[in-house]
Amino acid sequence: MKKAIQRSIKMRFQTRIDHQDHTDAYEFTTRGELFHKGKHDYLRFEEVLNNETIQTTMKWNGRELILIRQGVILMRQTFIAGETTVGRYVTPEASWETTAATEKVFVQWPAGKVKGRIDLTYQFELQGQATGKHTVRLTLEEDTSR
């Protein structure tokens, strides 16, 4: 991605969580911004959870993907393929330590007419309790309507 260029993005966000005997799925579409600063690429977008807006930023340096959520939920989690990382999940009621044992991180930014995507697969624990295998896919394309 070229430096110092901010681009408008249309995206589809899909999450699937497989936990023991059940599967949960969550999906939404939104618009966001993709930009480069220093040695990192950033994807910034908003998501709505229980009628509350959460500002989400994904920061990528070619090796690690950092997820930062700010709003009614505060979260910071790093994902590195083949590694287990520690993070934090905070609500108005409590704060919990998180761990992510990341199996896969794939990041491809959109270029021209080619769509980009982010694929992420990890086992997640919240305060030592397994929440299941999380599979996340973001499909990205430049928003030329803006």
Q: Rounded distance, CA 28 to CA 14, Å?
A: 7
Residue-level pLDDT, tens digit, the chain, 146 residues: 444 578 899 999 999 999 989 999 999 999 999 999 989 999 999 988 778 889 999 999 999 999 999 998 999 999 999 999 999 999 999 999 999 999 999 999 988 777 999 999 999 999 999 999 999 999 999 887 76
Domains in the chain with CATH codes: 7-142 (2.40.128.20)
Q: Rounded distance, CA 104 to CA 9, Å?
A: 23
State the DSSP string of 76-135. EEEEETT-EEEEEEE-SS-EEEEEEEEEEEEEE--BTTB-EEEEEEEEEEETTEEEEEEE
In 3D space, the residue among 51, 49, 33 whose CA is nearest the CA of residue 41 turns out to be: 33
Q: Look up tokens 């994807």; give the residue.
A: 43
The model's pTM: 0.91
Q: What token pair was written down for 116?
A: 């980009």
Q: Rounded distance, CA 64 to CA 49, Å?
A: 26
Q: What token pair was written down for 40?
A: 């990192």
